[in-house]
Chains A and B, each alone.
Chain A
Amino acid sequence: MNPDSPNPDGPNHDHASPDSQTPDGPATPDRTAEPQAAGEASTGAHMPPLERSVVGSVGVALIGAGLRSARPLQKIVLGGVGAGLTALAATGRNPLATALKIRQNAQGEVLVSDAVTVGKPAGALYARWRDLERLPDLMTHLQTVEVLDGRRSRWTVKAPAGTVSWEAELTADEPGQRLAWQSLPGAAVENHGEVLFRTAPGDRGTEVIVRLAYRPPAGTAGAVVARLTGEEPAQQLRDDLMRFKREQELGFSPTTQGQSSGRAATGGQA
């Protein structure tokens, strides 16, 4: 019942060669490879200079308001929050981002990665993913993917106001093993990433690993807001991977949509 999993640092899993870090590098799927998107990754979150100065000024303004306030409680609260924000700006770290484990690299890109094991062979899973125009079935925030030529495609996502779209190009395409992409200059949300397909030890199918890096439109604060509202890529990615697994293993996703309950208007024949 408890097969020992093989040592992840075993002989067939050498450390990544430096050039597997570049999108076009000769990347074999590698258990110990650093996320190519990572750069100097750190959990939580350097604020870019502009954000830092905004946070800093708000902090100073709050301290001022606190000092001017006649009500003692307000004095303490405003002064305290203000001092906190000022300190943050001084250290350049966004504590919310740190607490929410939003990872960022030194270039200010937000890093997202996740993995799932699917009980199907790597070739079939790769083929499903390579069929870019069908990806919106799996990734519900995607509206369309339009293939422009062998390497380029146009991606359109639903956004709070209308849609956002950009062009991307494949930077690696290794059947049954790996796909990597990079948004083309001018993208509203600059991003790059890769998906790896790696045979799981034992009779368990394939490990699918996705690594993304993107530049959040509103900086680190934007990433925090997105995380808190559940619309952040880390959460979307988790849902997408589970939807992928369930599509492959079951042919459908389980649901309770439309089931009976004591709440009004849930369908059924009253």
Chain B
Amino acid sequence: MKAIVWQGTNRVGVETVPDPTLLLPTDAIVRVTSTAICGSDLHLLDGVIPSMERGDILGHEFMGEVVEIGRDVKKLKVGDRVVVPFNIACGACDPCRRGLFSACDNSNPNHRMAEALYGGVSGGGLFGYSHMYGGYAGGQAQYVRVPFADVGPHRIESDLRDEQVLFLTDIFPTGYQAAEQCGIVPGRDVVAVFGAGPVGQFAARSAQLLGAAHVIVIDRVPERLAMAAAAGCQTINYEQDDVLVALREATGGRGPDHVIDAVGMEAHGHGPGALADTAKQRLRLSFDRITALRWALLSCAKGGTVSLPGVYGGLIDKVPMGAAFAKGLTFRMGQTHTHRHVAPLLSRIEAGEIDPSFVITHRATLDEAPDLYKTFRDKHDGCVKVVLNPWG
């Protein structure tokens, strides 16, 4: 089959690789009908997530048709049309039973790698996202092996198009959880979202769905800001305005009640802090560049929430912790517990409250994907979200 393969930093390619097979009786094989490139994949392209190996199949946002099931798979049937959460979870451990699916104890075969890096504990596995997260082959391919097939995949029975439900696999739940965990008081709270990429777009719209009085989106890419403005958000271009001044003004000097960092570890930025971050990341002294996180902590209102869907990988310094402490901020963060959001968000799509396909700007084949990784990373050609048809 054809698959998108990581070939090294800044190199992804299309390769012909063996078709996946069932490895355990709880596995299924899914024939992928649509798959997307995520901002998280850019961290892999840029080589800032450790433990990738040449030849790894990428991709964690995908859906398709079940073509084969292992003998212990009970709920799923061959022929089912499913969306598959990007996290791999066992459904049986204590975190899974509490709905903390991304913290699954049992799905990461390489737990020791993550334990070594992260203080003796490991999160669950992810599709196509480094060996530290399990080394599972991803779904930017014609077929994919799906472990724990009765736990992750969610059947789509309505006649919604792929493009309307594909993002239930990651970015819609990710944006939604980012907003939900702020505890927005409807009609009162102001929410600021750093980053107008796909995750930021869904975070902003989710904040609106949850009743935010006002939503402000910050980025520097005009067409991404325009997409947020089209949903009724105020926008700030941090290259044109001093973002901290603009946020004070927009909130009567209080700062936003909640701030979502939908940028993560590769924030773009100005000034000595940002320069030092970049130098350290290049030298592999640090994984993370944290301009957006600094702005989030400095701008957030007293008693507010700083919610981090943006991914961080390692150690950071020059964090304005004093400001966070003085204001009594709450931090919420982590990989999304995608499984628990799929059914409720699917209902919202079916009810017409949101059509997630608004974010798609590029549709292409697997052969075109390597170029589109770069178009997406460099924000050329108005690119916000790329959807791939593996059979096109």
A residues contacting B by CB (< 8 A) are: 1, 117, 119, 204-205, 235, 238-239, 242, 245-246, 249-250, 252-263, 266-270
Contact = CB atoms under 8 A, between A and B. Distances in A.
Which residue among A252, A257, A262 has the maximum number of chain B CB atoms within 10 Å of its CB? A262
B54 interface: yes
A249 B90 contact: yes
Which residue among A117, A235, A259, A270 has the maximum number of chain B CB atoms within 10 Å of its CB? A259
Contacts of B90: 249-250, 254
Contacts of A254: 24, 88, 90, 106-109, 125, 134, 147
21 contacts: A1-B99, A205-B94, A249-B93, A250-B106, A254-B147, A258-B21, A259-B23, A259-B136, A259-B137, A259-B145, A260-B18, A260-B141, A260-B145, A261-B55, A261-B56, A262-B3, A262-B6, A262-B7, A262-B17, A269-B18, A270-B18
Given A1-B98, A242-B111, A257 B55 contact: no
Contacts of A258: 21, 23
Contact of A268 (B15, B20, B55, B115): B20
- Secondary structure at the A interface, as helix, strand, loop or mixed, is loop
B5 interface: yes
Interface of B: 1, 3, 5-7, 15, 17-21, 23-24, 26, 53-57, 88, 90, 92-94, 98-99, 105-109, 111-112, 115, 125, 134-137, 141, 145, 147
Nearest to B93: A249
B105 to A, nearest CB: 7
A238 B113 CA distance: 12
Contact of B134 (A250, A256, A260, A270): A256
B20 A260 contact: yes
Nearest to B97: A119
B106 A260 contact: no
B106 A267 contact: no
Nearest to B96: A249
A253 B109 contact: yes
A233 to B, nearest CB: 14
Contacts of A261: 5, 17, 55-57, 137
Contacts of A250: 90, 92, 106
Nearest to B15: A262
Contact of B115 (A1, A205, A238, A266): A238
A239 B112 contact: yes
A256 B17 contact: no
B206 to A, nearest CB: 20
Contacts of B88: 254
A257 B6 CA distance: 19
A50 B88 CA distance: 51
A112 B328 CA distance: 40
Given A249-B90, A262-B56, A270-B18, A256 B105 contact: no
A62 B6 CA distance: 45
Contacts of B93: 119, 249
Which residue among A1, A254, A259 has the maximum number of chain B CB atoms within 10 Å of its CB? A254
A256 B135 contact: yes
A255 B98 CA distance: 24
B298 to A, nearest CB: 28
A249 B92 contact: yes
Which residue among A1, A235, A242, A266 has the maximum number of chain B CB atoms within 10 Å of its CB? A242
A242 B135 CA distance: 17
B112 A235 contact: yes
B21 A119 contact: no
Nearest to A3: B98
A257 B22 CA distance: 11
A119 B7 CA distance: 40
A256 B109 contact: yes
A260 B125 contact: no
Contacts of A266: 17-18
A119 B92 contact: yes
B125 A119 contact: no
A152 B201 CA distance: 66
Nearest to A242: B111
Contacts of A119: 92-94
A259 B6 CA distance: 15
Contacts of B23: 255-259
Given A119-B92, A235-B112, A268-B21, 7 more contacts: A254-B88, A254-B90, A260-B1, A260-B18, A263-B53, A267-B21, A269-B19
A54 to B, nearest CB: 30
A260 B3 contact: yes
Nearest to B125: A254
A1 B98 CA distance: 7
Contact of A262 (B26, B55, B134): B55
A111 B112 CA distance: 19
A270 B16 CA distance: 8
